Chains A and B, each alone.
Chain A
Amino acid sequence: MSEQVAVQGQTKQINLLKVLGPVHVWALGVGIVLVGEFMGWNYGVGKGGAFGALISCWVIGLLYTCVAMIDSEVTSTVAAAGGQYAQAKHTIGPLMAFNVGLYLVLAYTMLEAGDVQVAGQLIQIGAGELGHDIPWEPFTIVCLALLAWLNYRGVFMTLTVNFVITAAAFLSIVILFIGVHPWNPTAVLLHQHLLTDLPYGWLGVLASLHFGIWYYLGIEGTCQSAEEVRSPGRALPLGTMTGMITLLIAAALTWYIVSGLLPWEYIGWDAELAPLFDAARVLGSPWLTVILFVGTLFSAIASANGCINDAARAWFSMGRDRYLPSWFGAVHPRYRTPFRSILFLIPIAAVFALYIPLAQIITFSILSGLLNYTFMPFNMWKFRRKWPLGSIQRGYEHPFHPLPAAVLLVLCVATFVAVYLGYGRQLLAMMAFYVIASLWFAFFRYRYVRRGDQFTMPWPRPQGY
């Protein structure tokens, strides 16, 4: 079939396979993110208390709603792998595109490393519960190898598996919610005893925004599948917006359950890995404990799976445009996947997963994600100014422009302040890294970029040109 690419001296084009629908887009976005409901968000409780974490859940939820609205509109017009990288290339320019591409690759590769590290440690914890002491490293590596193999073999199976395990993980949260008898809030839950005032005031609430990102980090990854979706103009906005709604529900349920079963000092404790799992253990039901253990493990695996997919697409797109060596822009002739990019990024994720502490890895991921969100308002303003409504066909037009872009920018700045409060050195080191990378691109790499090939969408000349 697709091996027959060279016919009588003529080279047939091999593109990524267009086989995905809205369900796969949902599975990609929610799959990457849902792990953030099972772990990570709880460190925000340590900064701002339970109510502080709830406020950050709402505020960051608003930030990501703006991200989803903006992304859905722009991506519904740019059917290209690389997501925001391809958007930046069309609306702003090569240097911004290079930086956005790097933000994407680092955000997803670091998150992938954190996910497989957590998956290995969860298996170790599960074995420990049964009275067996085993190392976590082999299970981290086997998760990474299995997911890389799945991604290598094809996107349809990869995201179908992601749909199944993501849906199962989401269902485990719903089952736990039913298990705490929400129809009788005082029967099992102890909100009236456990909830306190803000322990560190509003400064603590501001600091907790950093960890509020966990509830939703990665939903923007849906647009990396743009080139593999059958109808990107329709499927991407539908998959992204339904994914965001799913996450808002999951975040609300998670906070409600955990804050009603565990004291805030324990939830926000540095050594607390999986608050939903612990909430199930507190209930004393073996069934709920097993279901939440499986849900937590599935969420970590689904996230790593989606991250391998997205990091490889971003790297592949940059290679194809010669922002990186063009060697990375290869597509597997049989499986139609960016196989060189997938293989190249796996050892990097493995090294970070095995040797770097989880908090450091995730901070790299959050910072890269945050830089990406800060680019989006500028992208949106330029996009609407250059191609106003009606000038090109859009699958989705977000309402109230420029309000979402302005709100997004303000919330990004507030979150940068929050990150600076806890991880100032990492933030500055990360900024220095991107400045050095930008200098390398401008002075050593840009000469290889084919400038005439950058603009690939069949759009009219932008207004003002």
Chain B
Amino acid sequence: MNETQIAEVEQFLGRHSVSNSEEILSVYSGNEPPSLVVWPTCTEEIVKLVKWANKNSIPLVPISSAGPKLRGSSLPKVENAIVIDLSKMRKILRIDSKNKVAMIEPGVTYDHLISELKKEGLRPLMPLLPKASKSVLASCLDREPITTPRFHWDTTDPLLCTETVFGTGDVLRTGAAAGPGTLEEQWESGQAQKNPQGPSQFDPFRLVQGSQGTIGIVTWISMKCEKLPDKQLFLLAQGDDLNSFQEFNYALYRRRLADEHFMLNSISLKAILSTKKLYSPWTLVIGVSGHGMLADEELEYRVNDIRDIGLETNVDLQENFDALRSSEIENILNRSSRVPYWKLDLAGNCLEVMFTTTLDRAQGFYAMFCGVAEECNFPVDQIGAYIQPMNQGTNTHIGFDIFYNLDDTESAISLLAKGQKKLLDEGAYFSRPYGIITDAVFEKASPTTVTAMKRVKAIFDPNNILNPGTLCFKEVP
């Protein structure tokens, strides 16, 4: 980028919102370093920047989260990009407790949101221990799975409406937020931007979500929240393999009795709790709550019905085991991770694997991945596993974390490549592909899928300025 261009950017963003210092650029480097990092403070600035970038064929890479970058999706893959750091836009714009919804800007992090929502008797639907600097908005846009499948009605939850600046520089409020009417007029008529669908006969929010910044830059979202429990209890179970919980899990999905519902292997638990304890190979976590009138009775009936399912399916549910207590689990939920990030604590580094499947295949995939680890000489006791039911149980997120120290870098990278490939070949669905597996995922997808995605890209970002090189969008501006 030349001096003139930098000056132009400074013109509409303000000099203090623009940097090309070596130090800053290196923080935001991906495959390539950016040529500029900017911190816009409002939508209008972003619109100006996007329009300018179209004219000048400059790639833009939006980012909202700070801290350790494990996926690299919001770092430049091509040269000469401008990184748009949205973290300065960090207002919680609105909380509507009656309608259980919050409207937030990209820079809002979980702990901030959690404490503000608490004042209104609400809690966010959130992933397990996101990093402290994780943008809530980015998490929603990434389709990060939440710990409470009961409230996960559609893949897109908890994301609802958005304000998006497309790659063309056009702004669209998606969902019911599109109108008719301004947001104020909508609030006047009782709306709360809860219907994420539309406007009308397309769902632009589904095109932005999962796009890894290639379709639009989102300047605010509304997101689903839930009421804070008045009463809460956690039930745990231990198992040697995931199949021992399978029948229980499937039965529980049907009943929608629990809030939190997921499984962790012993290594993940160890990493999260930062202990050297010996945990059972697998731990099942169930959170149950009651709120409002008859909160006690609600909790009681839910717990008792869950216990009945446990009895019918031979799963021993306890609030506490010797090695693990409910209170420890409660402490790791509904909050963000300790800094910098729990995933880095076990061995110093972490590579992430994540894919979607159905619960009945989880044990098989885990065994498969561990098998590849052995082939790669990577210690199996450094592989964390997180099994998160989604869509009220219809599908399941599986996350494998390769915790490695620098000495094991080579085998870790080898495991990442070979392991993911094996999983892909055996039918794991990388619905949110990051890093080296991406190309293989799109090769496996049918050419018509890729063509269709490119058509979408050509509509919303015809000059390919948004995060080029990401997903199947290989063209550069």
Partners in one complex: no
Residues of chain A whose beta carbon lies under 8 Å from any beta carbon of chain B: none
Residues of chain B whose beta carbon lies under 8 Å from any beta carbon of chain A: none
